[in-house]
Structures are given as C-alpha cells and as structure tokens.
Amino acid sequence: MRTTVNTVLKITRLGALALAIPMASLAQVPAAAGTAPDDAKIKSDHQQQTAADFNRALFDHDLRAVDSILGGKPDKSRTGMYRRAAAFLLENDVDMQRAEKYAAIAYELSRETYAHPADEYDRQIAPPNVSKASELMGSIAASKGDFATAMRYYTEKPDTPRSGSAKMEALYLLTVAHSDKYATVKQKLASKVSSGDFSPEIKAAVQLVYNKENRGKAEGFETYYDSLKAMYKPENDQARNEELSRLKKQMTGRQADDFSLFDTEGKRVILSSLKGKVVVLDFWATWCVPCLASFPAMRRVMDKYETEQDVVFLFVNTMEKDKDIKSWIAKFKAEHNYTFPILLDTDNKVMSSFHSMGLPTKAIIDREGIIRFTTVGFSGDAELVSELTDMIELTKSAK
C-alpha cells in the first residue's frame, strides 16, 4: 500500500498537470529528523488551510485575497500556486494582465530552481516545471495575438504541450499555424476536427493553414472545413473503440457500502434508496485544485443526462477542516450557477469506504449497487467528459 501512495505522490509532483491530491497528507508522512509529529501535523494543517483559502479566493475571483496569500515577495515554494493562478485566469479569460504577471513569476522561479537546485527534489521537479511555465507563457502571448513571442516560449519546450488543457493546445496549434512551420500541424488540425473538436481556435488555425496553402485565398474553405466535420462519426472512431475496450477491462464488481449523508440543505440522502439508478459519486474538497477545476466538465456531463431520470449525480465534500464549510459551498454554488446536490462527509467515513488514494475520486455505481468504476484525478475537460460518459454508458448496460 505504501508503494501505491508514493507512486501517487510522484505523479502529482512530476506530472504535466496536477492530476490528483494524495490522501496521504504531510501529517501521515514520517516527520523529518528532529521534527516532532505534532509540529508536522500543525504544518500539514496549515498548508491544507492555505491551499483551501487559495482555491476559494481563486474560484471566487477574489484576486486581492489571491495576492495576499501569494505574498509580496516571490517565493519558490509558491511556484505552483503562481502557475495555477495564471492558468485559471487564462482558461476563464479573467484579468489577463494579472495572469501574465503570475505566469512570469512562475517562469522565473522555475528557471531559478532549474539553474540552482537546492536538493534532489528540486532537480526532479525543475525540468517539468520550466516546461509547464514556458507553455503557459506561450499560451498567454498567443491569446494576445503575439505569436512571435509565443513561439519563442514554446520552442523552449522539447515537445508539444501536455497540460491537458484543450484551450492551451489550441493556442499552441494556432501559434504554429502563424509560423513558417504551418505545414507541420496541418494533419494534426484536420485530425482534431475530424475527431469532433469544433472549437473556434481550432477552426481559426485550420483556416490560416488553408489560406497559406492557397496563396492567401479563403475561397472554398467552408466546404473544406465541412468535409472534415463530416468525417466525424463516433461509431467509426477507432481510438474511441479502443478506449471502450480498455474501460470494459477495468470494470469492477464490488458491492458499494450503504451510506447516509446530509446535503448542504439538510436533506438526507441514502445510497440504497437509489437502487435501480446509476449513481455517479464525485468526492472533492475545497483545498483540492483539480477537484474544483473539474467542475465545469462535470456540469457538461450532467447536462448530457439531464433528461435521464435513472442517472443520478452526487457530489460528496470530504476531508475538510473548515467548520463553516456550508456557507462557502452555498456562495460557491450561487456564483458559478451550480445546482447539483452536495453531500457532507464530515467524518470522511464514506470516502474511506471507497478505498480511494486521492482526490478527486469518482465512483460509478450500477442499478444493483455494484461499483463498476473508480477513477482518481483530473487530466482535462475533454478527457473527463469523454471518459466519464463512456463509463456511465457501460455501467447502464452492465449485467
């Protein structure tokens, strides 16, 4: 079990995107020599509370509070927070001047750590952090239309972006389309459209490449673009069929433990009362960055099943220390127009019963109360919508 925890920690520290927050908090990790366990727990609680305050301020668009948490003088221990703040503002098109400021600080701190690592951990995290910071700086420059600067940052990376963000990938492809290397992304762009990506950024990049190949003439573009769109047929998508085959092999058959929880409105929800329905559980916490980042994609999945009464979504808040959590959740839901029910796992027992190693955790339970899928982490909106939809459909047909 310890090996599994260490693996999750490594993925979280070194991955291209913060996929999941491990359940092993710093309080559970052996304290360093000379550090009393109580001191380690105090440090862990303080860090968790800081993360919760930071996430709440960010998602509330309370940028003064974000500035206050980050502090006046740039600190390398806050590198990831600067980067997450910049990425959040970019994704939501909010205060791009501040996003650029945060990204520049993350970029400089990452490069400083890369040039002067303090220890082995610094040596491990510095290269991917520089890569992610360069991608972010390039994306922000591209969003401003400064494609020359964007390309300069992108070429600092040895490969194409791996952030998991569809928007950042689209900005990268648009940047290359503006360069003399436009031909290198032609096939990639065509593949994106024929695979169902009809975003305006991708269309703009496709049109730019088309015009360049036709000496600046746009005539016939819409016909060409429509032909790419017409190629998209989910039932003939080989990659998707392979993914479905992979997911089928991952299906489990463990009976879910029954539970009874209250939601934020004081209504009791009992899992066994939902027998006959497919139940999607989303375990999350306010201090978990990928948890909050996944909510827009979760809403997209819920919208797909809005008319299906036999598919139920329950969001379970867990692993919290804030006693006033209900007030913040109510405000958060109102500001983001989230209408889904949120259950309160105040003693963390329900979360523990699913044996999850991190947050966010999603569990899909079939009509007979059997857990068919359990997944941990968040790798991007498109991936979540696609994978969770497939899991729900497979669970609906499970026997």
Cis peptide before 128 (omega within 30 of 0): no
In words, the CATH class of domain 238-396 is alpha beta
User: Interior CA angle at 320 toward 315 and 321, to 5°?
Assistant: 155
The answer to whether the beta carbons of residues 375 and 347 sit under 8 Å apart is no
* DSSP class per residue in 311-371: EEEEEEE-S---TTHHHHHHHHHHHHT--S-EEE-TTSHHHHHTT-SEESEEEEE-TTSEE
Q: Are 55 and 286 in contact (CB under 8 A)?
A: yes
Residues 393, 17: Cα–Cα separation, whole Å = 27
Rounded to 5, what percent of the chain is helix, strand, coil? Answer: 60, 10, 30
Give pLDDT, residue 59.
78
What is the number of other CB atoms lying within 10 angstroms of the CB of residue 72?
7
pLDDT of 278 = 97
pTM of the entire structure?
A: 0.67
Paired with 376 in beta bridges are 361
Amino acid 21: pLDDT: 56
CATH number of the domain located at residue range(s) 2-162 in this protein: 1.25.40
Can you tell me the distance from the alpha carbon of 368 to that of 270, in angstroms, rounded to the nearest whole number?
14
- Which two structure tokens, joined as six digits, stand for 250? 């991952």
The structure tokens 């960055």 sit at 289
Question: pLDDT (tens digit, 0 to 9) for every residue of the chain, 399 residues total?
Answer: 222 222 232 223 223 333 455 554 333 333 333 334 455 555 566 777 788 888 888 877 889 999 999 987 888 888 989 998 999 899 888 899 999 999 999 999 999 999 999 999 999 888 888 999 999 999 999 999 999 999 999 988 655 455 557 788 899 999 999 999 999 999 999 988 887 788 888 999 999 999 999 988 889 999 999 999 888 765 556 666 777 888 999 999 999 999 999 999 999 999 999 999 999 999 999 888 889 889 988 998 999 999 999 999 999 999 998 778 999 899 889 888 898 989 999 999 999 999 888 899 999 999 999 999 999 988 777 788 889 999 999 999 987
Contact between 175 and 154 under an 8 Å Cβ cutoff? The reply is yes
* CA triple 88-94-100, angle to 5 deg: 70
Question: What pLDDT does 17 receive?
Answer: 38
CB 267 within 8 A of CB 347: no
Residue 371: closest CA among 381, 361, 380, 379: 361
Domain ranges of the chain: 2-162, 180-232, 238-396
pLDDT at 202: 92
Q: Give the pair of three-digit tokens for residue 237.
A: 């998508």
Helices first, then strands: H and E counts in the chain: 17, 10
User: Do 172 and 160 meet the contact criterion of CB atoms below 8 Å apart?
Assistant: yes
Tokens representing 286 are: 């306010």
Q: Are 192 and 185 in contact (CB under 8 A)?
A: no
> Rounded to whole angstroms, what are the CA distances from 5 to 150, 163, 375?
37, 23, 15
